[in-house]
Structure 1
Amino acid sequence: MNLYILWFQGFENAPDIVKWCVHSWKRYNPTWNIVLLDSNNLHEYVDLSKITYDKDIQLCHLADIVRMVLLRDHGGLWVDATAFCHKPLDVWLPAYITSGFFAFEKPYPYLMLSNWFLYAEKGHPLVTQWCQETLYYYQVNGKANTYFAHHLFEHLYHTDVAFQREWDKVPKLSGSIPHTIMIPDFFKTTGRKDIDSKRVPVYKLSYKCEFPPYDPRMNVYYLYSTL
């Protein structure tokens, strides 16, 4: 099974936190084929020349397009480059992918699901329709706003009975769980017990902050040390 991680600029140029995250997926998931994508090899999986969008699009929004097309055409698991694996996928994920699709639900009260961790079988109706509507939107509008992909999913859920039925079949796991040491909790020293418990299978981290000098007591650095 393929696991896709994308860093357009190349992983050799990525922040240290991204490199640690990639290492975590390799460390815990030897049975998965980890595909590291960048601007040089992305064409092997997604032909962006056939997709209409503004050429000055933000990379995070371009990544929204890429993940949709990847999962529609190839199937597998997409994880953002700042997702840190803390438990082998083979231990916990099978129970949640029985419908052929999985996303963490309700990371915040105003979002139906997260899209930084997405599993789909090739051609699954949820990802196929979500992808189709995403590509159509960019074809018409060129750009999108923050959380556009999430709001589009919710719109489809409320306007398409078949789409709603497919999402309702997906086993649910709260999207708030992977955010337990998000900014500003990165650099606190109170999360060690939670990390040791392995309660959280995957953490959603971020590179968008200033990192202080290494201190093994800090949550994010302690998390690194568990690898």
Structure 2
Amino acid sequence: MQRTLHMLWHQGELNAPPWIQKNFQRVRELNPDYEVIIHDRQSVRKVLDGSRINFPSDIKIQNLSDIFRMTLLMEGGIWLDASAFLTKPLSQWVPQKLEESDFLAFSYNDNWRLPLSNWFLAAKADSLIMNRWFDAARSYWNSDFVAADEETNRRLLSGNPFEFMKLGGPSRNRVYPYFWSHFLFGHLIQSDKEFAEEWRLVSSPSSERAHLVQFELRKRSHSTKNKLKYRIAELLNRKNLRLKDKGLLMSSPIQKLDWRMDIDIDYWSSLAEVQSS
């Protein structure tokens, strides 16, 4: 498999929040055997100019990033979101997973609407899954599409997104949902027998486990009361707190964090280093 790792900060690496910049550096240090490329808006534009995907000019950045990562991985390689925290080097688990299939992603158990996460993706250059997913994306987009509002996006997480998007029919709903690429993937599992069989071969790590640290941080910062409880626990028994945090952290080879949060990446990095030593 091609040992190229793609990441993105639209405004450029040096304009990313400080903890994101540290995360970029951490990824490089953990993976000296990979070519790590930090993309920006210029490289996005350059790559997508040749993608033949007819997306609207005012497409949301997050959805543009979906198309960008899919286009890159048609050549093979790995995609990692800027806010994804590696708990171990890629070489310790990705090549082994890709011996079983030509594609890898984290997945949710029994979620037909959102069968996978796309903040980490790995594919071989000849991946059937990647090729058909990309072809479906190219067929789906139209330049006159407009983004769905927040209420519609929330409703689709418990509704039928395939009907909303009019997948499988002669025309498309011109309102595109935030999770359009996940819904396309789910529709392919249901409508393409060969695609579904390939997906069954993928040894997917758990998306639920990959969000444990983010969920814990949200819980701690949810209220002033929670912040105070966490601070008291830290002062009274820092060792126990570190053991708990390390357990959460190392439950997955990646922890998906939120770039909008103020992450103490030095603290979490120290826990990962203790575990790997």
TM-score over 0.5 for the alignment? Answer: yes
- Greater helix fraction, Structure 1 or Structure 2: 2
Q: Evaluate the alpha carbon distance shift between residue 6 and residue 157 of structure 1 in structure 2; reply closer, same or farther with a 3 A threshold.
A: same
Which ranges of structure 2 fall in alignment gaps of 5 or more residues? 147-175, 221-229, 235-239
Give the Cα–Cα distance (whole angstroms) in 2 for the partners of residues 185 and 108 of structure 1.
26
- Match of 1:180, SS state, is helix
Q: CA deviation at 1:163?
A: 0.5
Find the counterpart in structure 1 of residue 194 from structure 2.
Answer: 162
- Match of 1:69, SS state, is helix
Find the counterpart in structure 1 of residue 243 from structure 2.
Answer: 193
Find the counterpart in structure 2 of residue 217 from structure 1.
Answer: none
User: Aligned pair count?
Assistant: 219
Structure 1 residue aligned with 2:13, among 11, 14, 27?
11
Q: CA deviation at 1:111?
A: 2.1
Indicate conservation of the 8 Å contact 1:183/1:206, yes or no: no
- Give the percent of matched residue pairs that are identical in Structure 1 and Structure 2: 31
Find the counterpart in structure 1 of residue 92 from structure 2.
Answer: 91
The answer as to 2:238 corresponding to 1:208 is no
Give the Cα–Cα distance (whole angstroms) in 1 for the partners of residues 60 and 110 of structure 2.
23
Find the counterpart in structure 1 of residue 168 from structure 2.
Answer: none
Give the Cα–Cα distance (whole angstroms) in 1 for the partners of residues 110 and 20 of structure 2.
24
* Structure 1 residues 1-29: Cα deviation after superposition (integer angstroms, max 9, x where no partner): 10000111111111123212212211211
Indicate conservation of the 8 Å contact 2:210/2:256, yes or no: yes
Find the counterpart in structure 2 of residue 27 from structure 1.
Answer: 29
Find the counterpart in structure 1 of residue 58 from structure 2.
Answer: 56
Indicate conservation of the 8 Å contact 2:57/2:143, yes or no: no
Which amino acid is 1:31 matched to?
D
Give the Cα–Cα distance (whole angstroms) in 1 for the partners of residues 7 and 95 of structure 2.
20
Give the Cα–Cα distance (whole angstroms) in 1 for the partners of residues 31 and 241 of structure 2.
24
Q: When the two structures are superposed, what TM-score results if normalisation uses the length of structure 2?
A: 0.71
The answer as to 2:124 corresponding to 1:121 is yes
- Correspondence 1:135-150 to 2 at 5 A: 135-139=138-142, 142-143=145-146, 144-150=176-182
The answer as to 2:268 corresponding to 1:223 is yes
Q: CA deviation at 1:108?
A: 8.5
Q: When the two structures are superposed, what TM-score results if normalisation uses the length of structure 1?
A: 0.85
Q: Evaluate the alpha carbon distance shift between residue 97 and residue 176 of structure 1 in structure 2; reply closer, same or farther with a 3 A threshold.
A: same
The structure 1 segments of at least 4 consecutive aligned residues displaced by more than 6 Å after TM superposition are: none
Indicate conservation of the 8 Å contact 1:107/1:114, yes or no: no
* Structure 1 residues 163-208: Cα deviation after superposition (integer angstroms, max 9, x where no partner): 0111011112211111111155265567632554534211101122
Q: Evaluate the alpha carbon distance shift between residue 123 and residue 152 of structure 1 in structure 2; reply closer, same or farther with a 3 A threshold.
A: same
Larger Rg belongs to? 2
Give the Cα–Cα distance (whole angstroms) in 1 for the partners of residues 212 and 10 of structure 2.
27
